[in-house]
Amino acid sequence: MGTHGYSLRTTATPSAVWRLWSNVQTWPEWNPDVTAITLDGPFAAGTRGRMTTGRGGAHTIRLARVEPGRSFELETAPAPLATFVFRCDVQPEADGSRISQSVAMRGPLGWLYSMLMGRQMARAFETILRGLASRAEHQEV
């Protein structure tokens, strides 16, 4: 099963990016796919919540892994017999950051969803990351 992703460079600092990523209430403001999201606890590994997307409806989510200031993995099961694992990373670079988002599809039908939707999802990450970068850059001005 492959991982599908996208990354880009931004002038925003890693801490500015992380402030937005770790505050899920901001997600609908810069992520056109998310219409609502809530967590039943802190932005930490093991916390569960619910996310509503424009295309897929409402899904239970779980933060599987969180490295504060660096990365997190969010798991959801929006399709039968598969778990989608979204990974988001921010790395410092000269005069800014590199931000990345990827998805891996696991489970008995993960390979099929990966083949059918993986590249299309990765293309959508460009819009999501550009929205995140723009918001983070403007917060620092």
Where helices occur in the chain by DSSP H, the ranges are 14-21, 27-30, 110-140
Structural domain total, the chain: 1
The stretch 64-71 carries a mean pLDDT of 97
Write out pLDDT tens, residues 76-88.
998 899 999 999 9
Q: For the residues of 108-125, what is the DSSP string, one character each?
A: TTHHHHHHHHHHHHHHHH
Its pTM stands at 0.93
In sequence order, the 6+-apart residues with CB closer than 8 A to the CB of 78 are: 56, 59, 84
Confidence of residue 36 (pLDDT cuts 50, 70, 90): very high
Domain span at 43: 3-140
Confidence of residue 94 (pLDDT cuts 50, 70, 90): very high
pLDDT at 139: 84
Confidence of residue 140 (pLDDT cuts 50, 70, 90): low
The contacts found for 45-50 with CB under 8 angstroms, 24 or more apart, are 49/24
CA–CA separation, 25 vs 88, rounded Å? 17
pLDDT at 12: 97
What count of residues does the chain have?
141
pLDDT(1) > 70: no
Q: What is the CATH number of the domain that holds 96?
A: 3.30.530.20
CA atoms in the 13 A half-sphere facing the CB of 63: 24
